[in-house]
Copies of this chain bind each other. A is one copy, B any other.
């Protein structure tokens, strides 16, 4: 997928990007309350049509209606939370004028400004919360950026229903259509044309490493490079101290089992690697396997189920890998897999790579080997440590070295269940994301679509903006 391929003319994409470009000026001059109202109207419409959404999404994704319902709640909550933190053009930091050594240093007011049209690539594993009206769209609109959304090709019915909602609400609140467009073409080439379009100023993506890196490469090769905020998954290592295994082996195994097999393991924060001292490894594995429900669950697509089984099978073929729980596949449905091996087997990509689905690899390694394990695994969304109060003294000097590999560090918990809140950081060093300094969940997700502007010696009254809804 080269820049040239992406730069092919694509009529629908070109039209949508031009409309988004025209809408960018409207959004820049809209008031924070106008944008909050837009996000709130989107949340209301999603809530109004929740019944319909549950039916369509559950049917298309095979996620349980209960899970879809709770995701709808998360999505409307997210739209409202981000709407409450929408871009405010006023300065957040001011340096008053000063005279120093006879030279007057001018007043500076530091504010921010939206980047312009944003390309959004929804994920399939959260059809609502990371979907057409998910976090990327909500945060970009909150930042005052128009969005052009390329739907996930695996979910045409869900996307069409959400596109309908977007279209209705944008018109109802009095926005130009270019403020939020959902493309009809969900193909790879439409996505490449979108990121290559010179009117697009940034992109948000959640999905596979291959697709995310392709978009990143294309964006970097543009005449005007743009940032691609791609979240590409992680194995979310869980490190268990000897003291923790000795005290809480059973409860840790139970929590982890639920986190590994919930929603068929289709979470970017699924714990995929668990590190336990060799002294307890056998006992811990038995507890983990025992704690699993082990039921067959449908995955989002048949292709994903095939990939899952294939990756687990490939790893299992290595001599030093013990299969504790072999996965079974029946079409789109799979059962969980648990493998166990030693630290040195992490040299094999298939052992250390994310296997999207309900599986985990247990690594036998002592605490002294954690730095080596983390270094072999590379950048992560999360790292979890299970420890006891007696471990704190030993762990303290290592915590920043641990944190260098992840965006979120968890003590005595599980990585799944990402809180949508101001202090959330859902990101991490490459290859977890392409932009470790950003988050795709929480209030700071808005920051990705803004950049700072310093206003020097500006007179009062020059920056106040009119409410376009009131005009």
A106 to B89, CA, bound (A): 32
Of B103, B395, B407, B450, which one neighbours A462 at CB under 8 angstroms? B395
Q: Besides A409-B454, A412-B457, A427-B452, 18 other CB < 8 A contacts? A: A28-B401, A28-B404, A29-B401, A94-B423, A95-B424, A106-B410, A108-B424, A108-B425, A115-B436, A225-B430, A227-B435, A392-B459, A395-B462, A396-B463, A408-B453, A424-B454, A425-B452, A425-B454
Q: Which of A24, A106, A413, A454 has most chain B Cβ within 10 Å?
A: A454
Contact between A108 and B423 (Cβ–Cβ < 8 Å)? yes
For the complex formed, measure the closest distance between the CB of A441 and the CB atoms of chain B, giving whole angstroms.
10
For the complex formed, measure the closest distance between the CB of A267 and the CB atoms of chain B, giving whole angstroms.
15
A126 to B83, CA, bound (A): 43
Residues of B within 8 Å of A403, CB to CB, are 113, 453
**Residues 106-122 of A contacting B (Cβ, < 8 Å):** 106, 108-110, 113, 115-116
**Residues 309-328 of A contacting B (Cβ, < 8 Å):** none
Of B106, B109, B113, B409, which one neighbours A456 at CB under 8 angstroms? B409
For the complex formed, measure the closest distance between the CB of A331 and the CB atoms of chain B, giving whole angstroms.
32
Q: Is A105 an interface residue (CB 8 A)?
A: yes
For the complex formed, measure the closest distance between the CB of A38 and the CB atoms of chain B, giving whole angstroms.
17
Q: Is A48 an interface residue (CB 8 A)?
A: no
Residues of B within 8 Å of A227, CB to CB, are 435, 437
A25 to B421, CA, bound (A): 30
Interface residues on A, range: 35 or more
For the complex formed, measure the closest distance between the CB of A332 and the CB atoms of chain B, giving whole angstroms.
29
Q: Which of A28, A421, A431 has most chain B Cβ within 10 Å?
A: A421
Residues of B within 8 Å of A106, CB to CB, are 410, 413, 419
A93 to B447, CA, bound (A): 15
Chain B residue with the shortest CB-CB distance to A455: B409
A103 to B77, CA, bound (A): 15
Q: Which residues of A contact B (CB under 8 A)?
A: 24-25, 28-29, 89, 91, 93-95, 103, 105-106, 108-110, 113, 115-116, 216-217, 220-221, 224-225, 227, 379, 389, 392, 395-397, 399-401, 403-404, 406-413, 417, 419, 421-425, 427, 429-431, 434-437, 439, 444, 450-459, 461-466
Q: Which of A106, A403, A461, A465 has most chain B Cβ within 10 Å?
A: A403
Contact between B397 and A431 (Cβ–Cβ < 8 Å)? no
Q: Which of A95, A437, A458 has most chain B Cβ within 10 Å?
A: A437
Residues of B within 8 Å of A411, CB to CB, are 455-459, 462
Residues of B within 8 Å of A399, CB to CB, are 462-463
User: Given contacts A95-B419, A451-B436, are A116 and B224 in contact (CB under 8 A)?
Assistant: no
Residues of B within 8 Å of A410, CB to CB, are 106, 456-457
A425 to B108, CA, bound (A): 9
